[in-house]
């Protein structure tokens, strides 16, 4: 059942503090979820899993379920809570489900590009969900067109699904065909794939995007896959382990089987997952990311102290580091900005009058907390600098006498090609300006970033197991020159 969707919401981004449609943050690609649980309401469990992963993408959402070889699919533009309701979920029967919540990095924001991507094969249809970005999209597309594959979307995710179908249709079984297809893919991909026979969870050889395995409470033979552990927690599933870089887990009625399909996997987890993208209550390296972000703030206070009356964080992602900064510096932590938690994504654009009058849909200052104070404001990153400037002005308008900004990551100087939507290099403020020039542009009394060494040190892990390309241009997966030229516009970087 593939519904005919005619209603499309216009492309738009969440409105920030300054009324600008595009947030001054890197945007994550997607959240993926899958479940094998005969006898359970898999559609509803997937709905709640996606609900917990909503922060990873807010453009579209979809769920596919399987009853034998029959696929039931519903996907639409909008938030998970807007796309699904009780009656829709009741029309998604089965023992297997895969789900997706999307922010587009390859392919425009249209319902045809929403996932799961469902593709027919000789063994029945597969439903694929993808977090990441391929770098050999053009080459793979040409190969598939020569094989007369039917391309429906403009996403790299569909190409992965079609590559699996191409291999399966040549006579291979699900497992053999999938592994052959993954070896044709280059880039970042964490995948959850539903088939009539079972569910696959897959990570690329570098494991750039996360993927975890859980079991339903009280039934260890009922398995769950999710981008983050928060997707397990919401349904009471117990974290088992991560899918390893270059690993395929195959979940069927026989249980969970593991296959290491890549010859030389080398872990390079995106460090921004730990700094910003993943929810603070998600677990990585046996601890919550909240705890890691506290350490970032403490390290930042040691590296770049400031004299101030209070420390505040930019809600929500800057708050753990701000608390850590306050703990290490001895400066009291306070809430200076209140977030409107019911804004979500709006498709209604403000008028120019609203923008000029200081429309504050997401953040509002506490004037009595800020008035007459010297403030340290901590954020996790600055990408373009546009929102930072408006935010600083808001704090000064609320009565702050000094504003010192501290950033719990290094300057973002290079674009990402692995599933994060960052601009071309000339749009990244730290690629074209020194720290002093950025401070002048965003109108702060002082500005300091965390060092790359400090950021990696406080992971308490092997520092060579992270991708830090957005900070230093050291890309772990070779990016074709044609792809690079679209984003790497500058010959040298000012740090």
pLDDT of residue 493: 37
Choose between 11 and 74: higher pLDDT. Answer: 74
Mean pLDDT computed over every residue of the chain: 89
pLDDT classification of 23: cutoffs 50, 70, 90: low
Least confident among 65-79, 109-123, 333-347: 333-347
In a shared domain, residues 221 and 296 = no
pLDDT classification of 482: cutoffs 50, 70, 90: confident
pLDDT classification of 110: cutoffs 50, 70, 90: confident
Residue 26 belongs to a domain = no
Least confident among 286-295, 305-314, 325-334, 475-484: 475-484
Q: Which of 30, 185, 230, 389 is catalytic?
A: 30
Per-residue pLDDT, averaged over 277-299, amounts to 97
In a shared domain, residues 327 and 210 = no
Choose between 492 and 163: higher pLDDT. Answer: 163
Q: Tell whether residue 416 is among the known ligand binding residues.
A: yes
pLDDT of residue 103: 76
Residue 491 belongs to a domain = no
CATH number at residue 251: 3.60.20.10
Residue 15 belongs to a domain = no
Residue 476 belongs to a domain = no
pLDDT classification of 488: cutoffs 50, 70, 90: low
pLDDT classification of 108: cutoffs 50, 70, 90: low
In a shared domain, residues 244 and 359 = no
- Exposure of 175 in the CB half-sphere (CA atoms within 13 A): 14
Q: Tell whether residue 470 is among the known ligand binding residues.
A: yes
In a shared domain, residues 326 and 239 = no
pLDDT classification of 492: cutoffs 50, 70, 90: very low
Residue 470 belongs to a domain = no
CA distance 347 to 8: 11
What is the span of the domain harbouring residue 227? 31-267
pLDDT of residue 427: 87
In a shared domain, residues 85 and 231 = yes
The percent of residues above 90 in pLDDT, for the chain, comes to 77
Q: Tell whether residue 467 is among the known ligand binding residues.
A: yes
pLDDT at 2 over 70: no
Residue 110 belongs to a domain = yes
Residue 480 belongs to a domain = no
pLDDT of residue 481: 86
In a shared domain, residues 152 and 221 = yes
Q: Tell whether residue 445 is among the known ligand binding residues.
A: no
In a shared domain, residues 248 and 328 = no
CATH number at residue 324: 3.40.50.2020
Inter-residue contact 47 to 99 (CB < 8 Å): yes
What pairs with residue 117 in β-bridges?
Answer: 128
Q: Tell whether residue 380 is among the known ligand binding residues.
A: yes
Listed ranges 28-42, 149-163, 350-364, 434-448; the one with the highest mean pLDDT: 434-448
pLDDT of residue 20: 35
pTM of the model: 0.90
Least confident among 34-48, 138-152, 316-330, 426-440: 138-152
pLDDT of residue 359: 53
Is residue 149 annotated as part of the catalytic site, yes or no?
no
In a shared domain, residues 118 and 216 = yes
Number of domains in the chain: 2
In a shared domain, residues 376 and 250 = no
In a shared domain, residues 219 and 322 = no
In a shared domain, residues 195 and 312 = no
Which tens digits make up the pLDDT trace of 231-257? Answer: 999 999 999 999 999 999 999 999 999
Residue 348 belongs to a domain = no
Least confident among 136-145, 261-270, 275-284, 349-358: 349-358
Per-residue pLDDT, averaged over 389-401, amounts to 95
pLDDT classification of 356: cutoffs 50, 70, 90: low
In a shared domain, residues 329 and 194 = no
pLDDT classification of 487: cutoffs 50, 70, 90: low
CA distance 326 to 36: 45
Q: Tell whether residue 41 is among the known ligand binding residues.
A: no
pLDDT of residue 262: 96
């Amino acid at each position: 059942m593939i519904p005919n969707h005619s209603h499309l919401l216009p492309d738009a981004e969440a409105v920030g503090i300054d009324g600008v449609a595009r947030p001054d943050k890197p945007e994550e690609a997607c959240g993926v979820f899958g479940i094998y649980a005969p006898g359970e309401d898999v559609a509803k469990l997937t709905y709640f899993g996606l609900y917990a992963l909503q922060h990873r993408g807010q453009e579209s959402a979809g769920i596919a379920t399987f009853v034998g070889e029959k696929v039931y699919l519903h996907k639409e533009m909008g938030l998970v809570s807007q796309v699904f309701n009780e009656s829709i979920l009741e029309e998604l029967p089965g023992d297997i489900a895969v789900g997706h919540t999307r922010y587009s990095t390859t392919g425009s924001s249209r319902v045809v590009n929403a996932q799961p991507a469902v593709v027919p094969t000789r063994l029945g249809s597969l439903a694929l969900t993808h977090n990441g970005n391929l770098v050999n999209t053009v080459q793979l597309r040409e190969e598939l067109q020569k094989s007369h594959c039917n391309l429906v979307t403009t996403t790299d995710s569909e190409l992965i699904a079609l590559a699996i179908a191409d291999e399966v249709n040549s006579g291979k079984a699900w497992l053999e065909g999938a592994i052959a297809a993954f070896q044709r893919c280059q880039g970042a991909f964490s995948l959850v794939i539903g088939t009539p026979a079972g569910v696959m969870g897959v990570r690329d050889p570098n494991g750039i995007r996360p993927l975890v395995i859980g079991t339903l409470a009280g039934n260890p033979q009922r398995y769950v896959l999710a981008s983050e552990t928060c997707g397990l927690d919401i349904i009471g599933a117990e974290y088992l382990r991560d899918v390893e870089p270059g690993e395929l887990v195959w979940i069927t009625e026989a249980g969970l089987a593991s296959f290491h399909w890549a010859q030389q996997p080398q872990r390079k987890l995106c460090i921004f997952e730990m700094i910003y993208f993943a929810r603070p209550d998600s677990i990585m390296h046996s601890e919550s990311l909240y705890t890691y972000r506290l350490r970032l703030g403490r390290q930042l206070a040691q590296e770049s102290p400031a004299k101030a009356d209070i420390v505040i964080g930019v809600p929500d992602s800057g708050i753990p580091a701000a608390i850590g900064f306050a703990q290490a510096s001895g400066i009291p932590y306070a809430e200076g900005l209140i977030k409107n938690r019911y804004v979500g994504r709006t498709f209604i654009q403000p008028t120019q009058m609203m923008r000029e009058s200081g429309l504050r849909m997401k953040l509002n200052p506490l004037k009595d907390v800020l008035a007459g104070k010297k403030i340290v404001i901590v954020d996790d990153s600055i990408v373009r600098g546009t929102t930072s400037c408006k935010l600083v002005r808001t704090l000064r308008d609320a009565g702050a006498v000094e504003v010192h900004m501290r950033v719990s990551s290094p300057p973002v100087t290079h674009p990402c090609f692995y599933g994060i939507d960052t601009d071309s290099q000339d749009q990244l403020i730290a690629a074209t300006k020194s720290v002093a020039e950025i401070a002048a542009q965003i109108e702060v009394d002082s500005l300091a970033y965390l060092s790359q060494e400090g950021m990696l040190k406080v992971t308490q892990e092997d520092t060579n197991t992270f991708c830090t390309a957005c900070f230093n241009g050291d890309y772990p997966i070779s990016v074709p020159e044609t792809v690079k030229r679209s984003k790497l516009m500058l010959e040298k970087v000012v740090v």
